[in-house]
Amino acid sequence: MRRQVLLLISILSLSSVLGQVSYSIPEEMAKGSLVGNIAQDLGLDVKRLKTGKARVYSGDGNEYIELNKEKGVLLIKERIDREALCGDMTPCALHFQVIMENPMEFYSITVEIIDINDNPPAFEKNEINFKISESAVIGAKLVLERAMDLDVGTNGLQNYLLKPSDHFVLKLHSQADGTKNVQMILQKPLDREKDELISLVLTAVDGGEPQMSGTMQILITVLDANDNEPVFTQPIYKGTVTENAPKGTVVTTVSASDADYGSYGKITYSITNTLDDVRNMFEVNEENGQVRLIGHIDYEKKRNFQINLRASDGGFTDSCKVIVDVVDINDNEPTIKIMSKSTVISEDAKPNTVVTMINIQDPDSGDNGRVQCSINDNIPFIFKSTSNNFYTLVVDNDLDRERASEYNITVTCSDEGVPSLSSSVTLTLQISDVNDNAPVFEKSSYEAYIVENNTPGLSIFTVKARDVDWNQNARVSYILEDSSINGVPVSSYVSVSADSGVIHAVRSFDYEQIKDFQFCVKAQDGGSPPLSSNVTVKILIQDQNDNAPQVLYPVQTGGSLVAEMVPRSADVGYLVSKVVAVDVDSGQNAWLSYKLQKATDRALFEVGLQNGEIRTIRQVTDKDVVKQRLTVVVEDNGQPSRSATVNVNVAVADSFPEVLSEFTDFTHDKEYNDNLTFYLVLALAVVSFLFITCLVVIISVKIYRWRQSRVLYHSSLPVIPYYPPRYSDTLGTGTLQHVYNYEVCRTTDSRKSDCKFGGAGSQNILIMDPSSTATMQRIQSEKNILDEPDSPLEQKPPNNDWRFTQGQRPGPSGATGGPEVAMGTGPWPQPPTEAEQLQALMAAANEVSEATATLGPGTMGLSTRYSPQFTLQHVPDYRQNVYIPGSTATLTSNPQQQQAAAQQAAQQALPPPQASAQAEPPKAAQTPASKKKSTKKEKK
């Protein structure tokens, strides 16, 4: 077997068609026979055939050739019969394509089928009869039936042989189509009396190797004389017939004449075609020679027919040929065949990416088979023609799945026939998503409001972002961007739900600490790589009325009393003072209004509702009391509202002394709770407790003093007040007959009680040095002589520092004592009377009360706004000096002065060393008069 391989590689205009390969193989090859090494001939790698899913595509669906992808060769899949495949058409070839994907490529393959001598020549009939007159002249001819050989070329019919050849010889006439007509020519006169029946054998031989042949028996009956043969009017007739013409259509009419008469002149017509399908398509009327259509004509199957006709008069015959051309009509619509297609394409596919390869076929001819294809408009694809009847659908513009996720591409092909026929096919193409769109928030920025004092974990609001991508690429997560607010991480203020975008408050907000803050929230999709976008969120804290007003002026202190002075000559509208208050809230929660709640005289003062100014509303008269107390309520405008109260003390006077005398016993104000019932019950309980306590204390004191009086009563010494030596010496100069101890009742800074009682004079001594704050406690370890009523009371002389000089003693001016008084050796002065003691006690208590309770440090308790002339530098410092009534001596708290005075008095009053060992001063016996005076003094 000889195999011819012809490789032709053509570079075409489109990259998807890379080349064309032609092979030549003989027909009737066994299955699995090698056609050619397509991989080697095309220069392809065998792996490419595997990865590209190479396959054979045949337009007519008949697959005679298959591709072995493992070896890269083409093999025979089905037995190929050239005669069945192509008939008498030469050359005979198979056309198919080898298609590969990823990327899409195809190669055109042509396999030429070479004929082999597998069919012998054959006659339609095994036997044929002729009748010929014995009078036939030499040269008379008899037309014989041609033999048919399905092979072509040298393998086809080549020659005829006639045996025996005594009376007849063969004559062959070549036709334009390559066929040969066979005629027997009479070369020797017939003699019916010798040979009534002549038997001949006609043999047809071909030119193949080995040579094959076919035979037909010819029987000739020699008749009596018929010396004229029929003759056709023309040797070739032509006719046309339209495809799909109805049966019975007359194609043409043939005619022949015979000069004989009678039965020898009657002509009959017949078709002599043998093996082809002419007799199935046409018939001839034996009498009139009309050629009619009896079958279905299809231009696409056969475009012309050749009909061989014979005219016979019963003896002689003549032949002619009728050529019938089939006229094409547009009866076939274009056929669209999908060679390869993609159902899904990525949206980032580049232009000119091949999506689908299509083969278009129209079996019609001319304009009827000329096809134009198009696709629907406004899609990012174009339809290109790559080669004859092959088209590709390629990407023309950028794809965007978010604009169109699916395309229904309709390919419409129309021929140019009249009327035009068309066909269409719809391709559904899905666009796969890539992560090319970042999430987009619904707003460029967000603002949200939250009321202060919120509950931690409260949902504030929701941010929302959308991603136009699909599936995982469109799944949005929300992330709180790292930032700080006043140095504190924003995550300690708010949190963001990753799935829903809900923003929660992490802490409770205080409007007074932070009024607003902002942060960034990032929305991130789930693509790879992920895309994100940010948005700014601003949280505005809304104020609540959670702060009461605060009074800035007048200042409410527990250590001093502030009073505003109004002269009695003040006119109507006189500005007394102004209440200044603030509210740390904002908005209407900080709008303050001022109201006069209580006043000593409501008809005298009013308070400005908006500005808090206290003014007189009438003329001040002499009848108005000096001490005026105003209670002003400062209230905000919140819901519910909050308020604060302030007490303003007003002094209606023209001079400072008058104000000072009136405000000496002015005590501090109390702050009362709104629940008056509670405080009344509490006050009743406290008063009851104090009453019982005071009753117990009084009884205890009475018993104690009664015991003390009993001790003094049984003593034989005169009543001379005794003071322990550990008492602090507060005198700078001189001495007194008696040291007076006072129990002072003074106010404190307590908001719950008006006063506290100081300790008894026998319990502690107040050190008058301002730099000292401690108290010298009585030494409890020493047994008090007064605690033992039966023990003798030893009277010691008083300290010399408490003695008056002669000029300082009470009595007539200029009275002086003897030398013994100056030196501390004379008799003691007479004790003061009860009247003098009472006068000294009241004066000292009044002065100490004014100095400690009324006067503030440095201002005398008056507002410097209205009376700046009254300052501490114009008033004696009652805390530094104590004036003893009835004496010119001054008690001072200056330590240096005390020390100097004590040293001087010690040098003058101490006796000589020899006298220190003398007997103690005589003890005076207690008389009834002194006992009575002592009892009265205790009661006082």
pLDDT at residue number 195:
84
Residue type, position 365, single letter? S
Neighbours of 490 (CB within 10 A): 19
828 and 721 Cβ atoms separated by less than 8 Å: no
Say if residues 229 and 317 touch (Cβ distance below 8 Å): yes
Residue 479: name the closest of 418, 537, 514, 520 by CA. 520
Helix (H, G, I), strand (E, B) or coil at 714: helix
For the stretch 272-297, pLDDT in tens is 886 678 888 999 999 999 999 999 99
Q: Of 235, 319, 311, 322, which Cα lies nearest the Cα of 269?
A: 311
Give the Å distances, CA to CA, from 192 to 165, 225, 312, 314, 918.
17, 10, 21, 17, 223
The two tokens of residue 624 are 């108005």
- 3-state SS, residue 39: helix
Q: Are 832 and 936 in contact (CB under 8 A)?
A: no
For a pLDDT cut of 70, what percent of the chain falls above it?
70
**Composition of the chain by helix, strand, coil, percent to 5:** 15, 35, 50
What Cα–Cα distance (Å) separates residue 197 from each residue in 131, 191, 193, 712, 785?
9, 10, 10, 207, 200
Please tell me the distance from the alpha carbon of residue 501 to that of residue 449, in angstroms, as a whole number: 16
Q: Is 266 helix (H, G, I), strand (E, B) or coil?
A: coil
Our CA angle for 74, 80, 82, nearest 5°, is 125
Q: Does pTM surpass 0.75? A: no
| pLDDT given for residue 557 in this prediction | 67
Per-residue b/e over 524-563, b at no fewer than 16 CB within 10 Å?
Answer: bbbbeeebebebebebebebbbebbbebeebeeeeebbbb
Please name the residues in contact with 597: beta carbons below 8 A apart, sequence gap of 6 or more: 631, 632, 633, 645
Comparing C-alpha atoms, which of 462, 531, 526, 534 is closest to residue 494? 462
Q: What are the phi and psi torsion angles at 14 (to 5°)?
A: -110, 140
Among 210, 208, 34, which residue's Cα sits nearest to residue 111? 34
First to last CA, the chain: 162
- How much is the pLDDT for 846? 52
Q: What is the mean pLDDT of each run of 10 residues along the chain (940 residues)?
A: 35 47 91 90 87 85 85 90 83 88 87 89 90 84 87 86 89 80 89 85 90 92 78 93 92 90 84 82 93 91 91 89 93 90 90 91 89 91 87 91 90 91 93 91 94 93 92 93 92 94 94 92 93 95 90 74 81 91 89 91 90 91 87 91 91 77 52 68 92 93 87 52 41 39 42 40 35 35 39 42 42 38 40 54 49 39 36 36 40 45 44 38 40 40
| Distance (Å, whole) CA 210 – CA 208 | 5
Helix (H, G, I), strand (E, B) or coil at 558: coil
Contact 223, 315 (CB under 8 A): yes
Give the strand order in the sheet containing 344-346. Answer: 344-346, 422-432, 406-415, 371-375
Q: Work out the burial of residue 146: count CB atoms within 10 Å of its CB; fewer than 13 is exposed, 13-18 middle, 19 or more buried.
A: buried
pLDDT on residue 765: 32
Which among 717, 729, 730, 834 has a CA at the least distance from the CA of 785? Answer: 717
The position carrying tokens 């017509």 is 269
CB 596 within 8 A of CB 632: yes
- 699 to each of 364, 395, 634, 694, how far by Cα in Å? 145, 118, 49, 8
Query: Is there a cis peptide before residue 91, judged by omega within 30 degrees of 0?
Result: yes
Tokens of 218: 């010819």
List of E strands, 287-342: 290-293, 304-312, 317-327, 335-341
Inter-axis angle of helices 928-939 and 676-714, to 10 degrees? Answer: 170
**pLDDT value for 895:** 45
Structure tokens at 183: 């005629």
Sign of CA dihedral 930, 932, 933, 938: positive
| DSSP H or E segment with residue 822 | helix 819-823
- Please identify which residue in the block is written with the tokens 């789930």: 526
Distance of CA 21 to the CA centre of its chain: 59
Structure tokens at 451: 């009321």
